Amino acid sequence: MSFQPNPGDFIRINGKAYTVGQHPAAPGLAYAQAGRQGIVYQLIPVEGGPQDAKALKVFFPKFRIPAMVYQSETMEIYSESPGLQVCSRDVLTPERNGEIIAEHPDLLYAVLMPWVYGLTWFDIIADQRQLKRMESLSLAKALSGIGSGMEQRGLAHCDLSAPNVMLPFFSEVDLPDKRSAVELVDVEQMYSPKMDRPDVLLTGSPGYAAHRTVQSGLWSGYADRFAGAIIIAEMLGWCDPLVVDKSWGESYFDQHEMQNPCERYFILRKSLERNWGTKVAELFTRAWESQDVSSCPTFGEWLVILSSLNEEQLLQDEINIAAAADERKERERVQFQDAAPEVAAALPVADRKEPVLPPAAPSPSRNGQDNGVVNRLFLQAREMEQAGNIKGALEVYRSAHHFVQAGSPMQIELEAAIQGLEETLHPKPEEVDVKKLPFYRSRKWIAIAVAALILIGGSGFTVNQILADRAETRQKEAEATEALAKQQEEVRLAALRQQQEEQRQKDAEEQNRKQNEENQKLAQQLAQQKAEKQKLQEQYVKQSQYEAYLAQQKLAQKKKDAQKKKLQDMYDKQAQYEAYQKQQKIQQAKEEAARKEAAAKAKSLQQKRSNQVVQLIASYNQAYNAQKGDNPAKAKAYAKSFINLYEQDAAYFRTVGKISTRANGIYKFLANSGYQLPNV
Distance between CA 376 and CA 403 in Å, rounded?
12
According to the per-residue pLDDT averaged within each range, which of 21-25, 138-142, 290-294, 398-402 is highest? 138-142
Q: Is 397 helix (H, G, I), strand (E, B) or coil?
A: helix
Residues with Cβ < 8 Å from 217, sequence gap 6 or more?
201, 202, 203
400 or 348, higher pLDDT? 400
| pLDDT-derived band at 317, boundaries 50, 70, 90 | low
Q: Encode pLDDT of 20-38 as tens digits.
A: 998 877 778 888 888 778 8
- Predicted confidence at residue 455, as pLDDT, reads 43
Per-position DSSP letters for 245-273, written without gaps between them: HT--SSSSS-GGGTTS--HHHHHHHHHHH
DSSP string, 450-512: HHHHHHTTS-HHHHHHHHHHH-SSHHHHHHHHHHHHHHHHHHHHHTTS-HHHHHHHHHHHHHH
**Residues 549-578: pLDDT tens digits?**
888 888 888 888 888 888 888 888 888 888
- What local confidence, expressed as pLDDT, does residue 296 receive? 93
Contact in structure between 3 and 57 (CB atoms under 8 Å): no
Query: What is the C-alpha separation between 658 and 663, in angstroms, rounded?
Result: 9
DSSP H/E element including 597: helix 518-628
Distances (CA, A) of 49 to 21, 63, 89, 172, 176: 13, 31, 19, 14, 10
% of the chain residues with pLDDT over 70: 77
pLDDT tens profile 498-516:
777 777 777 777 777 777 7
At residue 42, φ and ψ (nearest 5 deg) are -90, 130
Evaluate the CA torsion angle 640, 645, 651, 652 in order and state its sign.
Answer: negative
Question: What pLDDT shows up at residue 453?
Answer: 41
Strand pairing partners for 39?
A: 34, 58
- Contact status, residue 315 vs residue 305, Cβ threshold 8 Å: no
Residues 401-452 pLDDT 10s: 766 776 677 777 788 888 888 778 776 554 434 344 444 444 444 444 444 4
Nearest to residue 194, comparing CAs of 223, 157, 153?
A: 153
Whether the pLDDT of residue 57 is over 60: the answer is yes
Is residue 612 predicted with pLDDT exceeding 50? Answer: yes
- According to the model, what pLDDT value does residue 578 have? 86
Where is pLDDT greater, at 481 or 421?
A: 421
Q: What is the chain's mean pLDDT, rounded?
A: 79
**What is the reported pLDDT for 494?**
67
Confidence category of residue 472, pLDDT binned at 50, 70, 90 = low
What angle, rounded to 10 degrees, do the helices at 390-401 and 409-425 form? 150
Identify the DSSP state of 575. H
Query: Is residue 23 a contact partner of residue 33, using CB atoms and an 8 Å limit?
Result: no
For 589-598, what is the mean pLDDT?
Answer: 88
Contacts of 249 (CB under 8 A, 6+ apart): 125, 126
CA-wise closest residue to 145 among 76, 223, 84:
84
CA-to-CA distance for 495 and 2, rounded, in angstroms? 53
Cα 160 to Cα 228: distance, rounded to the nearest angstrom: 7
547 φ/ψ sector (left φ>0, alpha ψ -120 to 50, else beta)? alpha
Across the strands, what pairs with 113?
55
pTM for the whole structure: 0.50
Res. 346: pLDDT tops 50: no
Angle at 54 between CA 51 and CA 59, to 5 degrees: 155
- pLDDT category, 393, cuts 50, 70, 90? confident
List, as one string, the DSSP characters of 75-93.
Answer: HGGGTTSTT-GGG--EE--
Q: Is 401 in a helix, a strand, or coil?
A: helix
